Copies of this chain bind each other. A is one copy, B any other.
Amino acid sequence: MENQIERQCREAGLKLTGQRRTIAKVLTEAEDHPSANELYKRCSEIDPKISLSTLYRTLRALEEARIIQSHDFGEGHARFELCSKEPHDHLIDLVSGDVHEFRHPDLERLKQFIAKEFGYDVVRHRVELYAVPIKQSHAKRRRSR
């Protein structure tokens, strides 16, 4: 059975190689926002002979085909996720590195409003909240890093 990415690849005219199937599987099953390196690790477990070049090239091809999306959370490397998810913004947990997704309609309205005031149309935006967990009962809760 063909998964979503494989279908999208076909639609985009991208050849379906074994390596791409591997990458597609890993991306589809990822519930986080993995980096290229992390993806490489996961792919290597399925196909130990896959090369990092292929991974990078495929990531780029998938991004150009609007199948995946890359994010830069200021860590010095990109993170990837599927475009098929609902559009959303990110809240990055500064303590654990976890990423939460959200979207608020007011935010959408507001950004269009602000841009319009400058005479612009928003093509895309980046909204990232870098945050720390609220301490409930001060100093009680300790986080692992």
A131 within 8 A of partner (CB): yes
Provide the A98-132 mask, 1 if CB < 8 A to any CB of B, else 0: 00101010110011001111111111111111111
Classify chain A's interface size: 20 to 34
Q: Cβ of A67: which chain B residues have Cβ within 8 Å of it?
A: none
Give how many copies assemble into the complex.
Answer: 2
A48 within 8 A of partner (CB): no
Q: B110 near A110 (CB under 8 angstroms)?
A: yes
Q: A125 near B127 (CB under 8 angstroms)?
A: yes
Q: Which of A94, A123, A126 gathers most chain B CB within 10 Å?
A: A126
Q: Given that A102-B114, A104-B114, A107-B110 are known contacts, is A122 also in contact with B126, CB under 8 Å in the complex?
A: no
> Can you report 13 A-B residue pairs in the complex whose CB atoms are below 8 A from each other?
A94-B123, A100-B118, A106-B106, A106-B110, A115-B131, A118-B131, A120-B131, A120-B133, A120-B134, A121-B132, A121-B134, A123-B131, A126-B127
